[in-house]
Amino acid sequence: MTFEYFIGSRYFKSKKKSAFISFITILSILGITIGVMALIIVIAVMSGAESDFRARILGMDAHVLLMPYKGTFSDYKRITNDITEIDGVTKASPYIHTQVMLRSSSRTAGVVLRGIEPDTTVLEMKSFDSSVLQNTIERNRKQNLLKSKIVLGTHLADILGVIKGDYVYVISSKGMLSPAGHIPAMKRFIVAGVFQSGMYEYDSSFALINLNEAQKILRMKNSVTGIGIRVTDIYTAPFMGEKIAAKLNEKYPGSFFITKNWIQMNHNLFSALKLEKKAMFIILTLIVLVAAFNIASTLIMMVMGKTRDIAILKAMGASNKSIRKIFIFKGLVIGFIGTTLGMCLGFLGCFLLKHYKFIELPGDVYYFTTLPVQLEVLDVLLIVGSTMVICFLAAIYPASQAARLDPVEAIRYG
């Protein structure tokens, strides 16, 4: 240990005449601790919310959607096989996406109807809060029970006032002309199950049926509106979409395919979450800045109280750099202690929130009923690094003032 660090550590030992300075030092450490703890917990909750949104959205939507520029296309089986052969694609499944009316015995609602192939569906059921839909589809893969059956979102089932086993009518504008005018297509389906994705937009407006049933009621013969695609790395979805569209447009010159990816379709939501996360980081960093002012005031008072000591050290040959090191060392030690305590308390808070879920949120207001928590290493490193930089900057001015003291004047008037 060099003499700068030795003297700096000695200054932490309180004496009666410097008890007030030691008290301010404790307040500085507590300020840093509270600031770091709040930052870690809040940023972890924000990261957890972003991850939770992403999981819920990708549970109901494909990573990439392939569709024709206009209308529908019929050669979807061969195109699906071509897509699955592309490197980076894990699954591809045709679908029909349209809007229809659902009518129960007492109520009516406009819904988004999605026709899917249960054997190849890109829906990721593991992200659902309820496994009803997953169990239904897995059972139907063996028994083909989804035919003439429909699966509704939980809020949609409440809107229609139906439960499993009830009947609903799917009413589509793709009907037929008669002497009396246009007659909408209508077919009765039995409710096979109810799913809960955790996203109100899906749970209140989505209904799933077998792809063949959707083709019949919409009079689409052997056509689909698009193909849902899942890729190995979800963040390469924009690149994979362009790659898939380019390959298919080259192979099928008469067709013009376009793609949409999950990042593009949910850009506003995730941009808002990122902006909110940055705003919370900046706001909560103000707590650390307040504590940094306490560090600066503590060191300034210490410099004033140690004027004669500093003069003697300089008279004995200590350089300005050495004097500066002593007080910067103390500022960094205060920051390190506060940061370490804040990290420990922040990790403890995240652990309690994640495993005990003692904070409950109303499910009809928020997307989740408990606070989602996800600690990310980069976030923690950013918080710790920013805190230590702030503490270092707070110590520079008092340390520089101490280094500029004239030893002769300090001894004479100290």
Helix and strand tally (H, E) in the chain?
14, 9
Can you say whether the dihedral through the CA atoms of 279, 281, 284, 286 is positive or negative? negative
| Residue closest to 338 by CA, chosen among 28, 23, 8, 11 | 28
**Overall average pLDDT of the 73-88 stretch:** 88
pLDDT classification of 278: cutoffs 50, 70, 90: confident
Q: Which residue has the higher pLDDT, 128 or 394?
A: 394
pLDDT at 126 over 60: no
Which pLDDT does position 136 carry in this prediction?
47
**Overall average pLDDT of the 142-162 stretch:** 75
Q: Which residues contact 328 (CB under 8 A, 6 or more apart)?
A: 392, 395, 396, 399
Range in 110-124, 203-217, 255-269 the model is least confident about: 110-124
**Overall average pLDDT of the 223-240 stretch:** 90
Encode pLDDT of 2-11 as tens digits: 766 666 666 6
pLDDT at 139 over 90: no
Range in 153-162, 277-286, 304-313 the model is least confident about: 304-313
Other residues' Cβ atoms within 10 Å of the Cβ of residue 11: 22
| Residue closest to 83 by CA, chosen among 211, 222, 227 | 227
Lookup result for tokens 């939507």: 61
Angle of helix 19-60 relative to helix 377-403, nearest 10 degrees, comes to: 160
Query: What whole-number distance in Å separates Cα of residue 400 and Cα of residue 384?
Result: 25
pLDDT at 355 over 90: no
pLDDT at 292 over 60: yes
pLDDT classification of 124: cutoffs 50, 70, 90: low
Query: What whole-number distance in Å separates Cα of residue 235 and Cα of residue 371?
Result: 25
Which pLDDT does position 273 carry in this prediction?
83
Encode pLDDT of 46-55 as tens digits: 888 888 888 8
Which pLDDT does position 176 carry in this prediction?
59
- Return phi, psi of residue 16, to 5°: -60, -40
Burial 225-235 (b: 16+ CB within 10 A, else e): bbbbbbbeeee
Encode pLDDT of 163-174 as tens digits: 888 889 988 877
Q: Which residues contact 131 (CB under 8 A, 6 or more apart)?
A: 125
Q: Give the max Cα distance, the chain.
A: 114
| SS3 call for 258 | strand
Q: Which residue has the higher pLDDT, 315 or 348?
A: 348
Encode pLDDT of 193-205 as tens digits: 888 777 777 888 8
pLDDT at 148 over 50: yes
Range in 15-19, 297-301, 373-377, 378-382 the model is least confident about: 15-19
CA 379, 383, 384, 386: dihedral to nearest 10 degrees? 130
| Residue closest to 206 by CA, chosen among 106, 133, 119, 122 | 133
| Residue closest to 334 by CA, chosen among 17, 15, 33 | 33
Q: Which amino acid does the sequence have at 314?
A: K
Query: What whole-number distance in Å separates Cα of residue 57 and Cα of residue 264?
Result: 13
Which pLDDT does position 414 carry in this prediction?
56
pLDDT classification of 137: cutoffs 50, 70, 90: very low
What percent of the chain is modeled with pLDDT above 90? 10
Range in 207-216, 294-303, 364-373 the model is least confident about: 364-373
Query: What whole-number distance in Å separates Cα of residue 337 and Cα of residue 295?
Result: 12
Q: Specify whether the CB–CB gap between 304 and 413 falls below 8 A.
A: no
Q: Specify whether the CB–CB gap between 339 and 36 falls below 8 A.
A: yes
* Mean of per-residue pLDDT scores for the chain: 80
- Which segment, 139-143, 155-159, 175-179, is predicted with the most confidence on average? 155-159
Which pLDDT does position 41 carry in this prediction?
92
Query: Which residues are 101's β-sheet partners?
Result: 110, 171
Q: Which residue has the higher pLDDT, 3 or 146?
A: 3
pTM of the model: 0.74
Question: What is the DSSP code string of 40-76?
Answer: HHHHHHHHHHHHHHHHHHHHHS-SEEEEESSS-BS-H
Which pLDDT does position 348 carry in this prediction?
94
What is the 3-state secondary structure of 188-228?
A: EEEEEEEECCCCHHHHCCEEEEEHHHHHHHCCCCCCECEEE
Q: Which residues contact 319 (CB under 8 A, 6 or more apart)?
A: none
Q: Which residue has the higher pLDDT, 200 or 33?
A: 33
Boundaries of every domain in the chain = 3-56+269-413, 70-255
pLDDT at 364 over 70: no
Lookup result for tokens 């995240």: 350
**Overall average pLDDT of the 297-324 stretch:** 78
Q: Specify whether the CB–CB gap between 343 and 380 falls below 8 A.
A: yes
Which pLDDT does position 132 carry in this prediction?
42
Which pLDDT does position 17 carry in this prediction?
52
Q: Specify whether the CB–CB gap between 310 and 409 falls below 8 A.
A: no
